[in-house]
Structure 1
Amino acid sequence: MTDLNAVANTYITLWNERAPQKRRALLETNWTEDAVYVDPLMRGDGRDGVDALIAGVQTRFPDFRFRLIGQANGYGDNLRFCWGLGPDGADCPIKGTDFVELRDGRIRRIMGFLDQVPEGA
């Protein structure tokens, strides 16, 4: 059985990893080769596309970090969790909920929803 909170924490670690080689290693270990990430603002196909999205978010918000809000929950090969993006030591101005589909314990598809986005972000 997959540890849903471990998957969510590994996902958050990936989005916070600034070293390209370490980020790529996390993708190769924890995401399927044909993984897809999609939210209302962006889409990434395959590990290369997801990696490019993460690098873009890090460039746009250089002083922000992702953090898990609450616990992940789900069933079977599906889970959901909430996250925040903001500076350390402060409330996150950007918040969202992600729905994850796993295949063989690895992330196959992410459908992201933005729950809170300040104007101009």
Structure 2
Amino acid sequence: MTAQTLATQYFATWNEPDADRRAELIAATWTETATFVDPSFETHGPDELNKLMGAAQQMFPGLTFVHIGEIDEHHNYYRWTWHLKAEGQEPVAGGTDIVTLDADGRIAHLLGFHDFAPEH
């Protein structure tokens, strides 16, 4: 799977409203023991990740995660940037993710950084 294909599937998963379909997408792109860590959340495994994605959709109704710019890649690492926004609007949040891939090209670990986020 190319870096662009994986990124496309990754963002489609975050934006998928159906939990069962999200689970299928997670299974296709993440390992069974994958971790997701950013300043706000930490998950272990596909079930926790799926719950986090569903919770994010409830926290930010009408907003979607979109990939911005190029994907950097070397060895088994990818780095991409994202925005959280409504169609035609300025983003309300954005960040950079560092992705570690397993030997099969699936996400084993994701370390996220918030470049900007809404005030709490």
Bin for the TM-score computed over the shorter chain: over 0.9
CA distance in 1, matches of 2:31, 2:93: 27
User: What TM-score results when the alignment is normalised by the length of structure 2?
Assistant: 0.95
User: What TM-score results when the alignment is normalised by the length of structure 1?
Assistant: 0.95
Asked if residue 37 in structure 1 is aligned to residue 36 in structure 2, the reply is: yes
CA distance in 2, matches of 1:40, 1:112: 7
CA distance in 2, matches of 1:47, 1:118: 27
Identity over the aligned pairs, expressed in percent? Answer: 34
CA distance in 2, matches of 1:92, 1:80: 19
SS at match of 2:39: coil
CA distance in 1, matches of 2:72, 2:9: 15
Give the length in aligned residue pairs.
119
SS at match of 1:22: helix
Asked if residue 11 in structure 1 is aligned to residue 23 in structure 2, the reply is: no
Q: Runs of 5+ in structure 2 lacking a partner?
A: none
Q: 1:107 maps to which residue? A: 107
CA contact (8 A) 1:44 1:52 kept: no
Could you list the structure 1 runs, at least 4 aligned residues long, displaced by more than 2 angstroms after superposition. Answer: none
- The residue type paired with residue 101 of structure 2 is L
CA distance in 2, matches of 1:44, 1:113: 15
Q: Runs of 5+ in structure 1 lacking a partner?
A: none
1:1-121 matches, within 5 Å, as 2-103=1-102, 104-120=104-120
SS at match of 2:51: helix
| Cα drift, residue 118 of structure 1 | 2.2
- The residue type paired with residue 35 of structure 1 is A
